[in-house]
Amino acid sequence: MDLLQQRKKKKLSYNISIYLMIVIAYAVVMLLSSQGKISSLFQGLLVPFCTYSILAVSLNLVVGISGELSLGHAGFMCVGAFTSAIFTRYMKFLGVEGLYLFVIAIIIGAFSAGVFGLLIGIPVLRLKGDYLAIVTLAFGEIIKNIANAIYLGFDENGVHLSLKNTMDLGLSDKGFIVVKGAQGITGTPHYSSFTAGVILLLITITIILNLIESRTGRNIKALRDNRIAAESVGISAMKYKLIAFSIASAMAGVAGVLYAHNLTTLTALPKNFGYNMSITILVFVVLGGMGKIRGSIIAAVVLTLLPEMLRGLQDYRMLIYSIVLIVVMIFTSAPSIKQYVEVFKNKFPKLTRNPVLMKKTKKEGK
Amino acid sequence: MKENIMLSVKNLSITFGGLHAVENFNLDIKENELYGLIGPNGAGKTTIFNLLTGVYKPTTGSITLNGVNKIDGKNTIEINKMGIARTFQNIRLFDKLTVHDNVKIALQNKYRYSTVSGIFRLGRYHRYEALMDEEALALLKVFNLENEATMKSSNLPYGKQRKLEIARAIATNPKVLLLDEPAAGMNENETKELMNTIKLVRDKFNMTILLIEHDMKLVKGICEELTVLNFGKILAQGETSEVLKNKEVIKAYLGE
């Protein structure tokens, strides 16, 4: 039991370190901004930090914990963004505004993205590896393109939906068009704030950390490590892969809600909901480390900040960004460098606090 | 006193394309028996395990567990719930997870709680997690693995990985345990230890065990009855000492 307690303590301190990191970062930013010491550029990045962190953490559930390569994560973000923005924009038209609507919008966004994740997951998760990656990529693009083509309006007769143009909606005079095809939704209320983002991020992290250490999370990890063995101890592969996929989708939906209510105009572009975005999120996950929640957050924040910091270099900006990516990847994955880290850990066991290693060195000491 | 037949296989056959991998296989294992399945490479032993655990569906034949439960046509998960657990020829552990978690995962059917109560730490979560921790650790103690409980399972030495696989299979609380070459790659001492472990498992957990093995010392040492398989067909069947005297068996194993 001793060993188990030790391990639990180690895990707990890791989890606490994540919360502390976020809370301290939040406190520092709030303090600085109250003194007016934060540039408007950085101010504008605060909500995206949270959005991308939520996306990275949730994709980590699929890629790192569940072990399935998904390239359509931005698609679920798109679902969450549009469904919630339709709701708040229409409420605004009706003259209802207030932060409680944002809470409802988050629930709507999470729910609809989760349902989409479930519906897409059922056929898609039968595939594995590269095939799954390609199909999720395709579904992500389909969602984005549909969002780009939708015309949606409300009048006293109810909801009007068209994929052609605004005239095709056949709205009455009192009607109101919410989504105008490629022009998207304009005039979404600005509910997102750094505080809201941090709260949502903390909730997301809590859910994922708790999930990982529960029966469901262990079953998901078992399926990742060895599907045949997992089935032989009675774990249904489809069920647990679906759970991971739809929870991650719902969280991407929440990120979408945060994103949509940070802008006045919501349009589905390749830049924000296309596969470019999906791959950017994947980069956060891979760079931060598979299955590592803290790493995902740090990677998301650093890689969002980096291109903005490099603005002064103009044309060389993306070049340097790419070089940084490559260097970090090599440093985190090259076996020879990992060896150096191991040597370092062996030299300073107390520093790294690995219970197994500590035990070994103690024994050798005797 | 009539002995209870725990696992009964009748006329089991499977063909892959034109190949008869297993043909007319019959088997009756009594409750609490240690039964051996031997045969040269490619004889179809692992295929039989895969049929028994629902990985493959038999072309013909029936499998009955404990006299009443028909298990042919069921899938792996249902069969595990009905009471058959197995290990694998090439070890299949949950590599990245700890030794303790490997066993805990196998307890998931016994201590069920929903995803929601897992996420929000409600209801049965705390109680069941504590019970699982305790039970998994107790099981590891039986296999002398308790000091490695927090180690990553892939870092265990080979012999202990085999033991962990058996511990994990037992954690699902099966009636019948299928062991696929448990002594493969073990040295003599490890094999001896394994023989004791298998006997201990049978007695302690009151289990019926069917094992595939190439190590004749182990087979002679612990199996009460034996079936010899060659090219998917039964070559000999019966009490271990009798079967091993069989000329056909000697021919198939040792050559003329």
**pLDDT tens sequence for chain A (366 residues):** 688 899 999 999 999 999 999 999 999 999 999 998 888 889 999 999 999 999 999 999 999 999 999 999 999 999 999 999 999 999 999 998 888 999 999 999 999 999 999 999 999 999 988 999 999 999 999 999 999 999 999 888 888 988 888 888 888 888 889 999 889 999 999 999 999 999 999 999 999 999 999 999 999 999 999 999 999 999 999 999 999 999 999 999 999 999 999 999 999 988 899 989 999 999 999 999 888 999 999 999 999 998 888 888 878 878 888 888 888 888 877 777 778 877 877 777 665 554 444 444 444 443
Q: Tell if the CB–CB gap between B109 and A234 is shorter than 8 Å.
A: yes
Q: Is residue B34 less than 8 Å (CB to CB) from chain A?
A: no
Q: Provide the pLDDT for residue B102.
A: 96
Residue numbers in B near A7 (CB within 8 A): 98, 150
CB contacts < 8 A (A, B): 106
How far apart are the C-alpha atoms of A305 and A311, rounded to whole Å? Answer: 10
Q: Tell if the CB–CB gap between B94 and A230 is shorter than 8 Å.
A: yes
CA-based nearest residue in chain B for residue A2: B147
Q: Tell if the CB–CB gap between B118 and A7 is shorter than 8 Å.
A: no
Residue numbers in A near B77 (CB within 8 A): 231, 234-236
Q: Is residue B126 less than 8 Å (CB to CB) from chain A?
A: no
Q: For residue A240, what is the enclosing H or E element? A: helix A237-260
Q: Tell if the CB–CB gap between B137 and A1 is shorter than 8 Å.
A: yes
How far apart are the C-alpha atoms of B171 and A1, rounded to whole Å? Answer: 18
Quick check: helix, strand or coil at residue A298?
helix
Of the candidates B80, B96, B137, the beta carbon closest to that of A234 is on B80
How far apart are the C-alpha atoms of A265 and A260, rounded to whole Å? Answer: 8
Under 8 Å CB-to-CB from A274, ≥6 apart: which residues?
A74, A140, A141, A144
Q: Tell if the CB–CB gap between A225 and B150 is shorter than 8 Å.
A: no
Instruction: Give B106-141 pLDDT, tens digit per residue.
Output: 999 999 999 999 999 988 999 999 999 999 999 999
Class of domain B5-98+167-254: alpha beta
Instruction: Give B229-245 pLDDT, tens digit per residue.
Output: 988 899 889 999 888 88
Residue numbers in A near B122 (CB within 8 A): none
Q: Are strands B34-38 and B208-212 parallel, antiparallel or unpaired?
A: parallel
Q: Tell if the CB–CB gap between A228 and B92 is shorter than 8 Å.
A: yes
Q: Tell if the CB–CB gap between B77 and A225 is shorter than 8 Å.
A: no
Q: Is residue A166 less than 8 Å (CB to CB) from chain B?
A: no
Q: Provide the pLDDT for residue A129.
A: 87
CA-based nearest residue in chain B for residue A234: B77
How many CB atoms neighbour CB A27 within 10 A? Answer: 10
In order of A229, A250, B181, B184, the CA distances from B89 in angstroms are: 12, 40, 6, 8
Q: Tell if the CB–CB gap between B105 and A219 is shorter than 8 Å.
A: yes
Of the candidates A6, A211, A355, the beta carbon closest to that of B118 is on A211
The amino acid at residue A124 is: V
The answer to whether B217 and B191 are in contact (CB under 8 A) is yes
- How high is the ipTM of this complex? 0.92
Residue numbers in B near A229 (CB within 8 A): 88, 92-94, 168
* Min Cα–Cα distance to chain B from A271, Å: 33
Sorted by where each begins, the domain ranges of chain B are: 5-98+167-254
Residues of chain B scoring pLDDT < 50 = 1
Which of B96, B115, B133, B164 to mutate to probe the A interface, most A CBs <10 Å? B115
Q: Provide the pLDDT for residue B17.
A: 87
CA-based nearest residue in chain B for residue A218: B105
Residue numbers in B near A11 (CB within 8 A): none
A67: its two tokens: 């072990």
Q: Provide the pLDDT for residue A216.
A: 96
Q: Provide the pLDDT for residue A308.
A: 85
Q: For residue A207, what is the enclosing H or E element? A: helix A194-212
CA-based nearest residue in chain A for residue B92: A229
Sorted by where each begins, the domain ranges of chain A are: 1-38, 41-294
Q: For residue A120, what is the enclosing H or E element? A: helix A99-124
Q: Tell if the CB–CB gap between A235 and B77 is shorter than 8 Å.
A: yes
CA-based nearest residue in chain B for residue A233: B106
Residue numbers in B near A230 (CB within 8 A): 94, 105
Q: Tell if the CB–CB gap between A7 and B120 is shorter than 8 Å.
A: no
Q: Tell if the CB–CB gap between A225 and B95 is shorter than 8 Å.
A: yes
Q: Is residue B112 less than 8 Å (CB to CB) from chain A?
A: yes
* Min Cα–Cα distance to chain A from B147, Å: 8
The answer to whether A134 and A167 are in contact (CB under 8 A) is no
Phi, psi values for residue B14, rounded to 5°: -145, 140
Q: Provide the pLDDT for residue A353.
A: 54
